[in-house]
Amino acid sequence: MNFVRNNELIFVFVVALVLSFLVFGNGIFNDFTFDDVAVIQNRGDLKDSSNFFNLFVSPYHLLAKLGLFRPFTMASYAVNHFINDAILPVSATSFQEAAGFRVVNIIIHAFNSFLLFWLVNRLFKNRFLSYATFLLFLVHPIHTEAVTSLVGRAELLAFFWSLAAIYFFTKKDSLLSSVAFLFALLSKEVALMVLPIIFYIDWALLRNRFFPAIKRTFVFAPAIFIYALLRYKALGAYFFGDVSTTIVGNHLKFLPLKERILTAFKVLYMYLERLVWPVRLSADYSYSAISPVSSFTDPTFLIGAGFFVFLLWLLISKRIRQPLGAFGALVFLAPYLIISNLIKPVGTIMGERLMYFPSFGFLLLFSYLLLKLSEKISKKVVYVFLALIIVFFSARTVIRNRDWYDARTLFTATLKEAPNSLIARMAMAAVHVKYDEWDEAKEQLNIALGIYEDNSRVQNLWGIIADHEGNQKLAEEKYLRSLELNPDAVNAQINLAELYAKQNRLEEAGAMFKKVIEFYPVTEYVVRYAYTQIALNKPEEAINTVAYYLGDDLNNPDISALAGTAYFIKGDYKTAVFYLKRAMELGNTAPEIQKMLEISEVQTLSK
């Protein structure tokens, strides 16, 4: 069959946009959930426009030792924050704030689906294959985590720019192809694996000679060099990736080699199951949701390993006689191998969002199978079967979006699928604490202790419950234990600082709040630290800290009140009057603000 015409491409793009919103649109007004909170909602550096370019030399999680560098993705979040500030009222809820981020994700997914259609049609010139792969990819439920969960944008952008790099490469535009490839790398590291895909397209599908095709891939060397420089600037000694994985994040790292490989193939089986029958979906697969495999006769290992061998067979033996099968296998295997834990353990054992890129290869192979069936049996039967799958996938995606509504719905759904997930238990306990459901929180803690006690989050939760029950000694012990297990546990630092402040141990509270804001400089904790310094008669430190982290925001009543208080304690009554008046104009009518203002005005007039 021939290429589709330009008018048909426009039609496909419109369909992609409309269907993307129809299938994922019921999740637009979901809240920030799971990693969205730490990575996007509460990142002060993303909300500071003056910090925008610094994002391109900063680690993804602000911690270099995690080995993650995704500045283009972070910059896109910063733009979203800027737009929110411009169009949303100050009283906007977190659901309203999250909506703008989610709309962008849905639009990117539509573009990705459209580019996928273009690529399949460009390479294989078959309408059925193009439309089937396009529609299955567009509505597949396994993509819910990449689209509806906001942190999934890294997958979306890496895929988008990878396909853009392929597009420009096939158009013989080396410059734009290299730029797109650089943007893909800056979105997520997995984009590196588009290089073997581009080589295969050039050599096997466009029928160019082997060694010239290899030579043409060197056009991407400058992009790799620029990326490497920026990555080194951001990560330093952690340039080559994650070295701090814990047993909770990925227990495969701590298994003997045999069990690691066997269990990694079990994970591949689980991915395959969710691609074929996406009913059992979960937001978390970490310890101990997936039990290790120790026997070569385990069915999950055999199916996973068999599927892997089948893909290798397609890639190696069919690369010339059946390039479509080899291409589908390559598009699955190339990005999958990075996250498979087969070559080396990575930061996580499994995540549905990680299937976003590989699913293209799987769905292309599945569509090809349907195409071959349509040649053997009635085409109408195959078309009806495909339509039923698309309807089922669409309905499952719409239903799955509801699970991501907020933390309670998400982790209730997660615990149904993964009752032994330590992270899900901790997250559910945090929900109960937030809503003062202390008995339920304690129940979750006790289950978590039975799963794995020596975890920083478990110890922190234990401290929260102990503090609530009035046992401050035990609370301090557990917070310190949490920090012993993970010195960067910011929640334990906050809780310990609050405990010290409550006990009037201001020096210790100040030191702990200082650690908090060095990593997590949100307004609330900068203000808390500054007030501890004022209480310790260090107003200059309070003023300097606020200026460094928050600037001179005269439209924030808390900052104005804090600045006025600091200058009052310092004895600079004229400046104190300015800030205190501003705080009251903005609605801070606390009696102490009024009292300090009266004293400052008297002192100013007497001079």
DSSP assignment of 453-480, as one string?
Answer: SS-HHHHHHHHHHHHHTT-HHHHHHHHH
Cα 561–chain centre separation? 36
Going from the C-alpha of 170 to that of each of 134, 323, 400, the distances in angstroms are 20, 17, 37
Q: Is residue 483 part of a domain?
A: no
* DSSP character at residue 149: S
- Do residues 126 and 371 lie in contact, with contact meaning Cβ atoms separated by under 8 Å? yes
A 10 A CB-CB count for 10 gives 11
Cα(50)–Cα(129) distance, integer angstroms: 47
Which of these, 350, 353, 151, 354, lies nearest to 251 by C-alpha position? Answer: 350
List the chain residues with pLDDT less than 70: 1-3, 242-244, 318-321, 552-554, 607
Q: Provide the 3-class DSSP secondary structure of residue 34.
A: coil
Give the model's pLDDT for residue 553.
64
Cα 492–chain centre separation? 22
- Do residues 169 and 122 lie in contact, with contact meaning Cβ atoms separated by under 8 Å? no
CB under 8 Å to 592, separation ≥6 — which residues? none
Give the model's pLDDT for residue 605.
84
303-339 burial, b at 16+ Cβ within 10 Å, e below that, comes to: bbbebbeebeebbeebbeeebbbbbbbbbbbbbbebb
**pTM of this structure:** 0.92
Cα(431)–Cα(434) distance, integer angstroms: 5
Cα(16)–Cα(115) distance, integer angstroms: 10
Q: Is residue 499 part of a domain?
A: no
Q: Is residue 46 part of a domain?
A: yes
CB under 8 Å to 90, separation ≥6 — which residues? none
Q: Is residue 149 part of a domain?
A: yes
Cα(283)–Cα(314) distance, integer angstroms: 31
Range of the domain at 97: 6-401
Q: Is residue 311 part of a domain?
A: yes
Q: Is residue 464 part of a domain?
A: no
| Domain count across the chain | 1
Give the model's pLDDT for residue 607.
64
Angle between helices 523-535 and 506-519 (to 10 degrees): 150
Cα(485)–Cα(189) distance, integer angstroms: 28
Q: Is residue 256 part of a domain?
A: yes
Q: Provide the 3-class DSSP secondary structure of residue 242.
A: coil
Give the model's pLDDT for residue 73.
98
Q: Is residue 350 part of a domain?
A: yes
